[in-house]
C-alpha cells in the first residue's frame, strides 16, 4: 500500500505546474502582448486615417452638390446636415469657405505659404486635435487635409504641391 501511495503522490506532482513554470508562461504572455500592442495601435491609426479620408471625400461631394444647387458654398457644415460630424479621434471637422469675405486669410497653406485650395478648405485636425495654418508646421503634420481643390485628400505630411 505504501508503494501505491507513493505512485499516486508522484502522479499529482507531475500533473501540476511549478511556480517557475507558471512565471515563465506569464512572462511569455507579457512579451507577446508587448509586441502585439504597438502593431495593433498602428493598425487602428491607419483605420482612423482611412475613415477620415473617406469622410472628407463624402463631405466635399455634399458641399459641391450644395454649391451646384444653391449657387454658392455653404456657410458651415451644418448647412449640409453635418454640423456635428466628428472625425475618428473625436474632433469636429473643420470647414472654411474661401470664397466668402475674409475667407482667404483663413486658408491652409503649403510650405511656400501658397493656399492649398481656391474654393474651400476641409480638414480633420488629426490625432492630436491641434492644427496650424501652414501644413508643414509640426502641429499640422498629422492633419487629414483636402488640397488642390479636392484632387488630394490625405495626410498633410504626405502632401507636396
Tens-digit pLDDT profile for the chain (161 aa)?
566 666 655 555 556 778 888 899 999 999 999 998 988 888 999 999 999 999 999 999 999 999 999 878 999 999 999 988 999 999 999 999 998 877 677 899 998 999 999 999 999 999 999 999 999 999 999 999 999 999 999 999 999 87
pLDDT at 71: 77
The dotted CATH code for 2-158 is 3.30.700.10
pLDDT at 11: 59
* Residue pointed to by grid coordinates 472628407: 56
List the domain boundaries for the chain: 2-158
- Written in H, E and C, the secondary structure of 61-111 is HHHHHHHHHHCCCCCCHHHHCCCCCECCCCCECEEEECCCCCCHHHCCECC
pLDDT at 141: 92
How many whole angstroms from its chain centre is CA 63?
22
Amino acid at each position: 500500500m505504501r508503494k501505491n501511495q507513493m505512485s499516486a503522490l508522484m502522479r499529482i506532482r507531475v500533473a501540476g505546474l511549478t511556480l517557475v513554470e507558471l512565471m515563465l508562461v506569464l512572462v511569455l504572455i507579457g512579451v507577446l502582448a508587448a509586441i502585439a500592442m504597438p502593431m495593433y495601435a498602428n493598425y487602428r491609426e491607419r483605420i482612423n486615417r482611412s475613415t477620415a479620408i473617406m469622410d472628407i471625400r463624402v463631405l466635399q461631394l455634399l458641399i459641391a452638390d450644395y454649391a451646384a444647387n444653391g449657387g454658392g458654398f455653404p456657410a458651415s457644415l451644418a448647412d449640409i446636415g453635418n454640423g456635428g460630424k466628428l472625425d475618428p479621434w473625436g474632433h469636429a471637422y473643420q470647414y472654411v469657405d474661401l470664397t466668402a469675405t475674409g475667407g482667404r486669410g483663413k486658408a491652409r497653406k503649403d510650405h511656400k505659404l501658397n493656399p492649398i485650395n481656391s474654393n474651400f478648405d476641409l480638414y480633420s485636425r488629426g490625432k492630436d486635435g491641434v492644427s496650424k495654418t501652414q501644413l508643414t508646421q509640426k502641429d499640422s503634420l498629422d492633419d487629414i487635409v483636402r488640397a488642390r481643390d479636392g484632387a488630394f485628400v490625405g495626410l498633410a505630411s504626405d502632401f507636396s504641391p
